A and B are shown apart, each in its own frame.
Chain A
Amino acid sequence: MSRLTEEPAQRQEIDHDEYDPIGTLALIGLYFLILAFLWVFMYFVEFLGNEPTVVGGFVTVVGVL
């Protein structure tokens, strides 16, 4: 209770040469896929859903004001 952070239950010591951050690659790869998907998805959300921006489209005008 009085300890502020858990003493990490360390089971093994992994040094620089032994460590292969494959999980990081997996996680960052997943993030990249999400970003790429969102980037493509944005086209459908914005450009197909609205009139041309700035020069027309009431919704956008409200946004600009």
Chain B
Amino acid sequence: MMTMSNAYIDDFPAEAKVIRAAFYSSFFALALGGVFGVIQTLHRTGYYRFIDSADYYTVLTAHGVFLVISFTIFFLVGIFTWAVTTSLDRGVEDLRFTWGWYGLMAIGITLSGVAILAGFTDATDISASVLFTFYAPLQGHPMFYLGLVLFVVGTWLAGVDWFRSWWAWKGENPDERIPLPTFMVLTTMLMWYIATLGVAAAILLFLLPWSLGWIETVNPLLTRTLFWFFGHPVVYFWLMPAYMMWYVLLPKVSGGKLFSDPLARVVFVLFLILSVPTGIHHQYLDPGIAEGFKFIAMTNTMFLLLPSLLTAFTVVASMEHGARQRGGTGYFGWLKALPWRDPVFTGMALAGLMFAAAGFSGMVNAGMNINYLVHNTFWVVGHFHLTVGTAVALTFMAVTYWFLPQVTGKALWSRSVALGQVVLWFVGMTFMSNAMHRAGLLGVPRRTAEPQYDGFEFEAAVGSIGELQAQIALGGILLTLSLVLFFANVIGTGLNGRSDDLPANEYAGTLSGPEDAPLVLDNLKLWTAIAIVLVIFAYTFPLLSIVDRGGLFGPELNPFPVSIESVTLLAFAVEHLAVGALESLSLPGLLEVIR
């Protein structure tokens, strides 16, 4: 037993402070998002409606943005900072720069958050009830878009920070392989840089100028497509940090080693390459994009199953290694030898199990023909509550029980409460998400305050709508209780005194290490180049065709020439001049061709 603590905060006290700030920002967003979540669950199931149905969409926007933008991304910048500093064993290059990007993210999300929340009051005319996807013609206050821009720029600078660390490290260790956690951070950030170009273009070129009144219209299909250029890879921005936890932390808490470092690198390279050229699979039902382009997006999406299935194998094999080292035997008996009383382990394992279920509903979403059956139904909401709402969120909450002591130097308030919390989340999500999927199959729409219609009843082959609503409301309440337990633990831990008896800041060793991984895997320039080429293939023609049909700023806007007559006049004048010029050059053959 150690008497001297060797936790993260002991080695990197200044960085631990930044990570704490990121975590607390993340948890604040989680608390807000959770409150809005239970309000909307009770509202749309009809159990308790205390808000106006028009405000439901403000609640929905807040739930979405606070959870999938601020909760997830603040948390992941925290663990990425941990990953880079721990695996390179060096502090950040310039702490002011680190605080700078954190500050920019915080200011940005505050602006966006205030713009959203102001939608609840008539005291100002500020609002941004545009939902997470902010599709035009829904228009938010400029502050909403500006805040998002600052937030994303903050994440870009965070990436610069981690690349600086790596470059400095590489200068001192020219012949070493990139340590796995850093490799994962760098590939994820490269993917993120490519992905966010879409949302940056959508906001800076179109939505923000439009919201400010500088341009009158936008082409909604163009901004939607640019949104999904970012909107699909952003799910990997949430998921890849969760994967990182499954690769570098889960094997360790299972009592084993990571099965294969090379496979882990392959997975992250595949995500870098394949995440972005898939966004159009969210637009299978959008008119104005040819079926062929959608088919290409579907093909790329199906390839994306590959890294997830590789992960399933590698992660399970690593857990099994731990179980066998702990004395587990048999085909399935080894599962009993896993440390199920450890909330860090159990939370991550249950998150992984839910992700396996989400794999099926994801394949349904990804298939062009089957997607038509579930598009814009509650099924989709069920799907992403399994992915970002459980695979990512539950993993993040579970690893919090490991990270919080590392970055605060304080012992966890209660392991038992933590264990109860992760199990409760799993149970609550099982009720809620399963019922959402089934409701979607009946055609119950998503994003609807009152999904009930005069003269029409949804018919269930098995069970009833009432039963599904009850499961969804029950699930929502269990999830809220789980959040209460989570925050009790975070606050209780914060109130604890410093502990000298914390686990050392270590991540999992490997059975097959980086020395077995081909060197080309670490060639980040090559993979980035391939990723860009695939994006060009997947998006150039769809974007050109959208602009060609609908105009860069929408079909209505013809800034110059201003009228049909002037177009005809102008065309006549140009043709006359051109013909004159060609005739004077006496090129009759060419003239015929042009005519």
- Which residues of A approach B to under 8 Å, CB–CB? 1-6, 8-16, 19, 21-24, 26-28, 31, 34-35, 38-39, 42, 45-46, 49-50, 53-54, 58-60, 62-65
Contacts and interface: CB of A to CB of B under 8 A. Distances in A.
Contact of B317 (A24, A35, A38): A24
B342 interface: yes
A3 B418 CA distance: 13
6 A-B pairs closest in CB distance: A8-B255, A59-B443, A63-B443, A2-B411, A21-B317, A26-B331
A16 B327 contact: no
A35 to B, nearest CB: 6
Interface in B302-320: 312-313, 316-317, 320
B341 A28 contact: no
Contact of A5 (B317, B331, B335, B344): B344
B321 interface: yes
B110 interface: no
B501 A8 contact: no
27 contacts: A2-B499, A4-B411, A5-B339, A5-B344, A6-B253, A8-B253, A8-B322, A14-B321, A14-B324, A16-B512, A19-B321, A21-B317, A21-B320, A23-B323, A23-B334, A23-B335, A24-B316, A27-B332, A28-B313, A31-B356, A45-B441, A54-B372, A58-B456, A60-B443, A63-B373, A63-B377, A64-B285
A14 B259 CA distance: 11
For the side of the interface on B, what is the size category?
35 or more
B494 interface: no
Contacts of B324: 12, 14, 19, 23
Interface in B410-426: 411-412, 415
Contact of A63 (B254, B323, B374): B374
A62 B456 contact: yes
Contact of B373 (A21, A34, A39, A60): A60
A60 B345 CA distance: 41
Nearest to A15: B511
A2 B313 CA distance: 33
B461 A19 contact: no
Nearest to A49: B461
B405 A35 contact: no
Nearest to B446: A63
A3 B511 contact: no
B503 interface: yes
Contacts of A59: 442-443, 458-459
B503 A1 contact: no
A5 B402 contact: yes
Contacts, number: 134
Nearest to A54: B372
A63 B376 contact: yes
Contacts of B179: none
A53 B368 CA distance: 12
Interface in B326-375: 326-328, 330-332, 334-335, 339, 341-342, 344-345, 356, 359-360, 363-364, 369-370, 372-375
A6 B327 contact: no
Given A5-B342, A58-B456, A62-B453, 15 more contacts: A1-B415, A2-B499, A5-B339, A8-B254, A9-B327, A12-B324, A15-B511, A19-B324, A21-B321, A28-B312, A28-B313, A46-B373, A59-B459, A62-B443, A63-B443
Interface in B222-261: 253-256, 259
B415 A21 contact: no
B401 interface: yes
Contacts of B68: none
B391 interface: no
Interface in B442-476: 442-445, 453, 456, 458-459, 461
Interface string B474-504: 0000000000000000000000000101110
B325 A22 contact: no
Nearest to A29: B331
A33 B401 CA distance: 34
A16 B160 CA distance: 36
Contacts of A45: 441
Interface-centre pick from B316, B453, B456, B502 (highest chain A CB count, 10 A): B316
Contacts of B412: 4
B511 A16 contact: yes
B316 A5 contact: no
Contact of B326 (A10, A15, A63): A10
A34 to B, nearest CB: 8
A63 B415 contact: no
A8 B340 CA distance: 11
Contact of A12 (B253, B325, B458): B325
A9 B253 CA distance: 11
Nearest to B503: A4
Contacts of B359: 35
B321 A8 contact: no
Contacts of B376: 63-65
Nearest to A9: B326
A2 B260 CA distance: 32
B360 A35 contact: yes
Nearest to B401: A4
A9 B442 CA distance: 49
Contacts of A2: 411, 499, 501-502
Contacts of B502: 2-4
Contacts of B443: 59-60, 62-63
Contacts of A39: 360, 363
Contacts of B256: 8
A49 B335 CA distance: 39
A31 B345 CA distance: 21
A6 B334 contact: no
Nearest to B333: A23
B316 A27 contact: yes
